[in-house]
Amino acid sequence: MIEKKVLIDAPPAIVYQALTGAKDLTRWFCDRASSEPHVGGELKAYWKTGRTGQKGRAVFTQIVPEALVELLWVDDIQEANNHEARHLLTYQIQAKRSGSEVVVCDKDHPPPDDETFAVLSEGWNGILLELKEYCERKARSMKRKPVSYE
């Protein structure tokens, strides 16, 4: 299991939307996405990798708006019933005075060695940095928008 924590200078609503909204996901996580953020709903993601691409599919297993997003990732749609092809990701979002604290737990099979674990851990650092930068950028842009009184 890999567990990481990051402080994000953005409210929980922005972080939650970044983790569940298809449009938001394409701004920081993947190239294309579809998302049905409810228990049993699916998240489908696509990444361009050179001339080809990679697809990912997950099922929302727990969801509490602005507090918790849990996804069961299935590596291949045809292997949906194969427990070897799955891993569970949990994002806990907690309001802090200056924004949000996000704790991510990646519960997968243990890496075969310390080197693989280090690579996976570093990968999570990069993903969380992308999430942090996106959410903080979005929060800043929302503060700049003028308020309309209609």
Residue 149 domain-assigned?
no
- Cβ proximity of 56 and 44 under 8 Å: yes
Mean of pLDDT over the chain: 88
Beta bridge partners of 35: 43
In terms of residue numbers, what domain contains 114?
A: 2-144
CATH number at residue 41: 3.30.530.20
Residue 150 domain-assigned?
no
How many angstroms separate the CA atoms of 44 and 25, rounded? 10
Calculate what percentage of the chain has a pLDDT beyond 70: 87
HEC sequence for 139-150: HHHHHHCCCCCC
How many angstroms separate the CA atoms of 122 and 129, rounded? 11
Which contiguous run of DSSP H or E holds residue 130? Answer: helix 114-144
How many angstroms separate the CA atoms of 52 and 145, rounded? 39
Residue 84 domain-assigned?
yes
Domain count, the chain: 1
Residue with tokens 């427990």: 83
Strand pairing category for 32-35 and 42-49: antiparallel
- pLDDT tens track for 54-109: 899 999 999 999 999 999 998 654 444 455 556 899 999 999 988 999 999 988 77
Residue 86 domain-assigned?
yes
- Rounded to 10°, the helix 12-20/114-144 angle is 120
Residue 87 domain-assigned?
yes
How many angstroms separate the CA atoms of 58 and 37, rounded? 11
- pLDDT tens track for 9-59: 999 999 999 999 999 999 999 999 999 999 999 999 999 988 888 899 999
Beta bridge partners of 57: 44, 74
How many angstroms separate the CA atoms of 47 and 125, rounded? 19
